[in-house]
Amino acid sequence: MAQNEVFQYSLISALMDGVATHGTPISRVLDHGDHGLGTFKSMNGEMIVLDGVCYQMKSDGTIEHIHTPSEVITPFATVTRFNPDVSIRATISNKKDLLALLLKLFPQSKNHFLAIRMDGTFKRIKVRTAGGQCFPREGMLAVAGRQATNTFEAVKGTIIGFRCPAYVMGLNVAGDHLHFIDEERQKGGHILEFETEGDVEVGVSLMSKFHLEVPTEDEEFNEASLVHDKDGIEKVEG
């Protein structure tokens, strides 16, 4: 796949319905991109793909480098071959500041996808990690109710993720979807709040091509209602 094109496996609405027993090998996802996020079988932890390497961030605070991606599956992932259109240094106090910066850099991007990467020192980052399903088809709202949250201060690392347009809500997460991993690859998670310590490196690319693959021969997916639950998705994703 070419640079700055979105590849997505499955739907966020499928996760809401608990479709997470099966999936596609991480290696197939990495064939389509080197920058991305997602989850793992049974929603056990948060995925971050950074520079073509996949990491599993678990609810017990540990991080596992996925050394054999052909042997590990994901029920949902979004990736791209990241090549920033713009690279700048900026101080960002919160998610609203990030939105303002993105609109300044790409004023015509409301209905496009953006891939985002930030490298530097963060004054404060609050993250959550999902602990996984207790039984097959348990929905993401229930799983998120048991999520672990952590706050890191004065931590060096990388934030990566996407800003998706409103019209894909249900297919993906509309708005910002960001994950963090520290420089030592020892802690991270799905970002709820963040603030930089002065300027950080910010890279952003605008994307207009979106490739979607949905599960086949998957009973859970075939029987899922896939209802557009905007409120539920926003509650889970923060």
Residue 184 pLDDT greater than 80, yes or no: yes
Residue 26: pLDDT over 70: yes
Q: What is the tens place of the pLDDT at every residue in 73-91?
A: 999 999 999 999 999 999 9
Number of structural domains (the chain) is 1
Measured over the CA atoms of residue 161, residue 162, residue 163 and residue 169, the dihedral's sign is negative
pLDDT at residue 183 in the model:
97
For residue 1, pLDDT beyond 90: no
* Per-residue model confidence (pLDDT) at position 2: 93
pLDDT of residue 136 exceeding 70, the answer is yes
| CA separation for the pair 97, 195 (Å, rounded) | 9
Give the 3-state secondary structure of 55-91. EEECCCCCEEECCCHHHCEECCEEEECCCCCEEEEEC
* pLDDT of amino acid 191: 96
pLDDT at 238 over 70: no
pLDDT of residue 196: 97
pLDDT at 58 over 90: yes
Least confident of 100-109, 176-185, 204-213, 220-229: 220-229
Whole-angstrom distance, CA of residue 131 vs CA of residue 111? 33
Name every residue whose Cβ is closer than 8 Å to that of residue 195 and which is 6 or more positions away in sequence: 92, 93, 94, 122, 123, 124, 125
Half-sphere exposure of 228 (CA within 13 A, CB side): 7
| Average confidence score pLDDT of the chain | 95
For residues 25-30, average pLDDT: 98
CA distance 41 to 43: 5
170: its two tokens: 């249900």
Contacts 24+ apart (CB under 8 A), 95-102: 95/176, 95/193, 95/194, 98/176, 99/176, 101/202, 102/163, 102/204
What pLDDT score does 231 carry? Answer: 81
Domain range for 95 = 5-237
pLDDT-above-90 percentage for the chain: 93
> What distance in Å separates the CA atoms of residue 172 and residue 162, rounded to the nearest whole number?
10
Confidence of residue 237 (pLDDT cuts 50, 70, 90): confident
Encoding tokens for residue 2?
């070419």
CATH number at residue 147: 3.30.1330.80
Residue 131 one-letter amino acid: G
The token duo for 51 is 């520079």
